[in-house]
Structure 1
Amino acid sequence: MEDLKHLLYDYLVSVGFTETTSKYLNMLALGLALCILVYIIDFIIRKLLIQVFSQFASKSKTNFDDLLVANKVPRNVAHVIPLLVMLQFMPIVLTDFSYYEMLVEKGLQVFAIVLTLWIVRSVLNSIKDYMKTLPSLKDKPIDSYIQVFMIFAWVIGILSAIAILTGIAFIHFITTLGAASAVVILIFKDTILGFVASIQVSINDMVHIGDWITFEKYGADGDVIEINLATVKVQNFDKTITTIPTYALISDSFKNWRGMVKSDGRRIKRALNIKLSSVKYLSKDEIDRLKKIQLIDSYLDTRQNDIDSYNSSNGINKELALNGRNLTNIGVFRKYAQTYLERHSAINKDMMIMVRQLEPTSQGIPLEIYAFSSDKRWENYEYIMADIFDHLIAAVPYFDLEVFELPTGSSFVKA
């Protein structure tokens, strides 16, 4: 080793170079040779490990080894031996430069910490992906556990790196840091909360710039235009700007409309309140009159034949409409509304279409329309919904039904 340290140095001095120049040239030559050697070792080991892992993964019955390869575990592990070679031979390269030797050694030690964290992260991601394939763990918050572990790992790694760079023993560094942490947390509480929240928002993919969010607590309803460490800015639809603390996104509940924007339709969910006193059984004459409505004429024919057949075969006394099976005006109107939605050109036929009756209230029977418009743009969505309810409200009287509304002054005058 001693001969190797000054191999080129002795030769340069013998041919007439100064001692200082000879030292620098000797260091450069040894450094270049070490870099080439480390690169070759890293290349060979990386190729070898990746090939071995890939061959093993292709023959193995489990997919865990495939996930190790996909998450670059062999590639990261391959860097360990070249790093050890660098740590072993760097003192030889910098034998005449003790100050730089100390700096480079600290830099390599910090890189060793980072490399260790990379390997740990790759292994944990592989474990996470593998556990998600197991039916018994699909509904478990595995991502959260991995994130918490990695946060602790990065904190320890960063503290270890600082301890190496400052030359303070790790245990002493932690003790000193603990004493100062209370003051730091008190002063920078909002910044720390914002920093942690921004990491969580990014990792969990909760909000993007351009997302439409609704945050009732802060009066926000619009598009996200900026996300930074402390605040999230939302431009509301009335063009005002609402500023929300970043940590509020993970501590409070808000609605992100991104899923709706990316889906195939926008939901219509609104009810008509039908007056209870207007609901009745339909007589034969009334059914014949409703058969003139083209959307439900075939339905009424089929339904009435089934009902008449049932009542006849069971000897039902139809002198009283209550006996046996009957059609009601609200039931026929519900079928009409369902058919109307199914044939409406602006409704997505591949998503749920439903007209349902909700629990009666003091304001009548709510008949709820549940469907999805194909056009998700706000102004077009509102037009489609208004068009549907314009038609249905106007259609209600044809079924001898009434829409409930609270009495007004003119109602009492007419009475």
Structure 2
Amino acid sequence: MDTSLKQIVYDYLIALGTTETVAKYLNMLALLIVLLIVVSVIDYVIRKLLRGTFSKFATKSKTKFDDILVANKAPRNIAHIIPLLIVIEFVPVVFFDFPTFENLIKKSLEVFAIILILWIVRSILNTLKDYLKTLPRLKDKPIDSYIQVFMIFAWLAGIMSAIAIVSKIDFIDFLTGLGAISAVIILVFKDTILGFVASIQVSINDMVRIGDWITFEKYGANGYVTEITLATVKVQNFDNTITTIPTYALISDSFKNWRGMTDSGGRRIMRALLIKQNSITYLTKEAVEKLKDIQLITAYLEKRQQDIEAHNVHTNANKSLLINGRNLTNFGVFRKYIDAYIKQHSAINKEMMIMVRQLEPTPQGIPLQLYAFSNDKRWENYEYIMADIFDHLIAALPYFDLEIFELPSNIMFKDPL
């Protein structure tokens, strides 16, 4: 630029008799004010044009990407590029007589340029993150973790570039020098590195997705995963509290993911009744005839009774004692009743395993376990179904002359009045 234009105010003030030093400062101040006004106007106009263009395009476009781009202020950040370039170009003009100031301001603007680039990168990455979360096949993936990794690398590169600019060290030489303090860097970013590795493993192995129900006893978590980031996994528990778990804990500790249950055709019911051993007896003919009134096992008892009588006749069993030959027991018939009852229950998935089994005797009695799957996997309905089934079974026990084990209460030891 022509020197006369740089010193137009300076020459005018000198002509008015102002001292040379004052004229230089006032000349610099006047040029700075003009530059700031011009740049502010240009920045305002470009910002309005870009935002308006993006907004119109977003309303007409079918994709949501451009709407999210506007929401994350990407156009506004991009609009600052041209004004910044103008300021950098005209700094030598404004500070023509002050080389020290010129060098300082120029470095500051270069550092600000790096920050502006980081803002733009951040807004674009946030846009990409929000957009990917709208896609059905990616909404349960830990997108936040990957975006955070890119941002960490971007900020590290930006910080190192800024330090290199301020210290006047070449970027390559600066990176070489970082090798000497790599141990310190690893120590400082230990959790970040662990989180990054864990996020990759969690994603590749498909261990956890957003929306999965997990149980992590070590951290007291029992609920749905709402967010997976580079450092933490957020779980909303069923009491609406939030538990935060380190991401790397997912690969270093044991936890339970209920996705297999939610993706299957039913939710497992596995509960046992503890039957008193001394209530288990052989059934007499009269007792069998009485139990035939229970419709669910009528056909079973008739066929079973015929088979047992035929066997006892064939083996010439002495039936003066019930222990001789083959017999029905109230415990076995009740087990068959449970099996028949569950198989006709409308809330049970008939295509999955249904089993009623006797477990090893315990000091509290013989466990009679029901193993089946409910059609409805929602927690509230699942609990209702299971309670309804066992309400019925407990009430049915007296018809089979069976008793449930129960610890004695104080009232049992009181003398009758």
Q: 2:180 & 2:345 partners in 1: Cα distance?
A: 69
Distance 1:241 1:370, change over 3 A: same
Aligned residue in 1 for 2:224: 223
Partner residue, 1:56: none
When normalised by structure 2's length, the TM-score is: 0.57
**What is aligned with 1:347?**
348
Give the aligned partner of residue 199 of structure 2.
198
3-state SS of 1:337 partner:
helix
Partner secondary structure for residue 349 of structure 2: coil
Q: Which TM-score applies when normalising by structure 1? A: 0.58
Q: What are the within-5 Å matches in structure 2 for residues 304-343 of structure 1?
A: 304-343=305-344
Give 1:368 deviation, angstroms. 0.5
* 1:403 corresponding residue in structure 2: 404
- The 1-side partners of 2:406 and 2:224 are apart by 36
What code does the residue aligned with 2:388 have?
Answer: D
Equivalent in the alignment of 2:268: 267
Secondary structure at the counterpart of residue 225 of structure 1: strand
Deviations 1:64-118 (A, max 9, x none): xxxxxxxxxxxxxxxxxxxxxxxxxxxxxxxxxxxxxxxxxxxxxxxxxxxxxxx
Q: Unaligned regions of 5+ residues in structure 1, if any?
A: 1-164
Tell me, what secondary structure is at the counterpart of 2:362? coil
Query: What does the per-residue CA deviation read over 1:145-185, in whole Å, with 9 as the maximum and x for residues that have no partner?
Result: xxxxxxxxxxxxxxxxxxxx9668xxx96xx7764332222
Aligned to 1:75: none
> Does the alignment pair 1:241 with 2:248?
no
Residue 242 of structure 1 aligns to a residue whose secondary structure is: strand
CA shift for structure 1 position 210: 1.1
Match of 1:376 in 2: 377
Other structure's SS at 2:323 match: coil
User: 2:294 is matched with which residue?
Assistant: 293
Distance verdict in 2 for CA 1:308–1:234, change over 3 Å: same
1:357-368 counterparts in 2 under 5 A?
357-368=358-369
Show CA shifts across 1:192-250 (max 9, x none).
11111111111111111111111011000011111101100101000111010000000
- Distance, in Å, in 1 between the alignment partners of 2:326 and 2:411 is 40
Query: Where do residues 275-286 of structure 1 align in structure 2 (5 Å cutoff)?
Result: 275-286=276-287
Kindly provide the amino acid, as one letter, of the partner of residue 192 in structure 2: T
Which secondary structure state, in structure 2, belongs to the residue aligned with residue 325 of structure 1?
A: coil
Matches within 5 A, 1:8-407: 179-407=180-408
- Residue 264 of structure 1 and its aligned partner are, at CA, apart by 0.6
Post-superposition offset of 1:339: 0.3
Give CA deviations for 1:375-394 in whole Å, capped at 9, x if unaligned.
11111111100000000000
> In 2 relative to 1, CA 353–414 (structure 1 residues): closer, same or farther, beyond 3 Å?
farther
After superposition, the Cα gap between the structure-2 partners of 1:181 and 1:290, relative to the gap in structure 1 and judged at 3 Å, is: same
What percentage of aligned pairs have identical amino acids? 72
Which amino acid in 1 is paired with 2:300? Y
Q: What is the distance in 1 between the residues matched to 2:318 and 2:182? A: 87
The equivalent of 1:44 in structure 2 is none
> How far off its partner does 1:186 sit?
1.4
**Counterpart residue type for residue 187 of structure 2:** L
Q: Distance in 1 between matches of 2:412 and 2:307?
A: 42
Q: Structure 1: which amino acid aligns with 2:311?
A: Y
Structure 1 residues 321 and 414, CA gap change in structure 2 (3 angstroms): farther
> 2:226 and 2:279 mapped to 1: Cα distance?
51
Larger Rg: 2
Q: Deviations over 1:116-164 (max 9, x none)?
A: xxxxxxxxxxxxxxxxxxxxxxxxxxxxxxxxxxxxxxxxxxxxxxxxx
Shift of 1:335: 0.1
Task: Provide, for residues 42-71 of structure 1, a one-character-per-residue CA deviation record: whole Å limited to 9, x for no partner.
Answer: xxxxxxxxxxxxxxxxxxxxxxxxxxxxxx
Deviations along 1:291-349, whole A, 9 cap, x unmatched? 00000011000001111111110111111111111101000000000000000000000
The alignment covers a number of residue pairs equal to 250
- Measured in 2, the distance between the counterparts of 1:228 and 1:300 equals 61
3-state SS of 2:208 partner: coil
How has the CA–CA distance of structure 1 residues 178 and 323 changed in structure 2, closer, same or farther, with 3 Å as cutoff? Answer: farther
Looking at structure 2, the residues matched to 372 and 269 of structure 1 have their Cα atoms a distance apart, in angstroms, of 8
How many angstroms apart in 1 are the aligned matches of 2:179 and 2:258?
42
Structure 1 residue aligned with 2:9: none
Shift in Å at residue 413 of structure 1? Answer: 2.2
Question: Quick one: distance in 1 between partners of 2:413 and 2:297?
Answer: 37
Letter in 2 for 1:374: N
Partner Cα separation in structure 2 for residue 181 and residue 322 of structure 1: 82
Once residues 181 and 372 of structure 1 are traced to their aligned partners in structure 2, the CA distance between those partners, rounded to angstroms, is 55
- How far apart, in 2, do the equivalents of 1:371 and 1:402 lie? 23
Distance in 1, Cα, partners of 2:229 & 2:206: 15
Q: In structure 2, give the amino acid aligned to 1:284.
A: K
Aligned-partner Cα distance in 2 for 1:312–1:206: 61
Separation in structure 2 between the aligned mates of residue 355 and residue 411 of structure 1, nearest angstrom:
32
Instruction: Please list every run of 5 or more consecutive structure 2 residues that lacks an aligned counterpart in the other structure.
Output: 1-169
Distance apart, 1:187 and its partner CA: 1.4
Alpha-carbon shift at residue 411 of structure 1 (Å): 1.8
Q: 1:177 to 1:311 in 2, by over 3 A?
A: farther
CA distance, structure 1, for counterparts of residue 415 and residue 360 of structure 2: 31
State the AA in 1 paired with 2:374.
Answer: S
